[in-house]
Amino acid sequence: MVGTAARTDLFGAALSWRFAHDLERTLKEKILELPDHVVVYPTHGGGSFCAVGAGTEMTTTVGAERAANPLASARSSRQFVMRALTAGTYPAYYARMRSLNQAGAPLLGPASPVPSTLRLGEVDSWLAQGALVVDVRPAAAFRAEHIPGSLAAGADGNVSGWVGWLVGPERPLVLVADPDTAGAAQVAEAARQLARIGYDRVVGFLEGGIEAWRTAGRELVSYETISAASLAKRLDADEFLPVVDVREAAEWHAAHIPGSVNIPAHDIPVANADLPRGMALAVHCGHDYRATLGASLLERAGHSQLVVVDDGWEGWVALDHDHP
Instruction: Give 46's pLDDT tier (boundaries 50, 70, 90).
Output: low
Q: Which CATH class is domain 105-215?
A: alpha beta
User: Measuring CA to CA, how many Å separate 221 from each of 110, 148, 152, 174?
Assistant: 39, 6, 12, 18
**Residue spans per domain, the chain:** 13-84, 105-215, 224-318
For position 6, what pLDDT does the model report?
85
Same fold flag, 105-215 and 224-318: yes
pLDDT digits (tens, 9 = 90+) for 191-233: 999 988 888 899 999 999 999 999 999 999 999 999 999 999 9
The reported pTM is 0.84
Instruction: Give 271's pLDDT tier (boundaries 50, 70, 90).
Output: very high
pLDDT digits (tens, 9 = 90+) for 285-318: 998 999 999 999 999 999 999 999 999 999 999 9
CATH architecture classification, 224-318: 3-Layer(aba) Sandwich (3.40)
For position 321, what pLDDT does the model report?
61
Strands (E), the chain: 39-40, 60-61, 117-118, 132-135, 151-152, 173-176, 202-206, 224-226, 243-245, 261-262, 281-284, 306-309
For position 313, what pLDDT does the model report?
96
